Amino acid sequence: MDKTELFQRFVAFTTAVHEVKHDITKGLKPEGITPVQYDILEYIAVSQPVTLSQISDCHHISMPNASREIRKLREKQLCEKVSAEGDRRVQLIRLTEAGQRLMDGVFGQIEARFHQRVGHLSASEIKDIGNALHLLHTKVFS
């Protein structure tokens, strides 16, 4: 396989990932949370602590918009800002206990839907997929 074909497979794969993510998260966003706020909470939950700049870059939103969304999430007591050790000028954002409980609940529902998608697979297939995901994570997505 040449690099062009590999790239085409990569594009098809990432498109499929977005479609599956949409399917397994459909209808799970908590009430009172906008889609942008949910995406930010999900990112924080997986990558915390994060900086405002990381949120802005990852979600393709301006720093002022990211700051406004974080302020709203802080008002809902779902995330908090803390100073970084060693450099108190750097503000890190992490989930509060309430934010963590919220995201744990959502991730539990997502996990149940994921298990429905892979429930028919054999142990060998699950192992192969796990190995493939590890390889993708370490060689392409890190």
Q: What is the mean pLDDT of residues 75-83?
A: 96
Higher pLDDT, 86 or 37: 37
Which amino acid makes up residue 15? Answer: T
Rounded to whole angstroms, the Cα distance separating 22 from 60 reads 18
Rounded to whole angstroms, the Cα distance separating 102 from 38 reads 10
pLDDT tens, position by position, 85-139: 888 888 999 999 999 999 999 999 999 999 999 999 999 999 999 999 999 999 9
| pTM of the complete model beyond 0.85 | yes
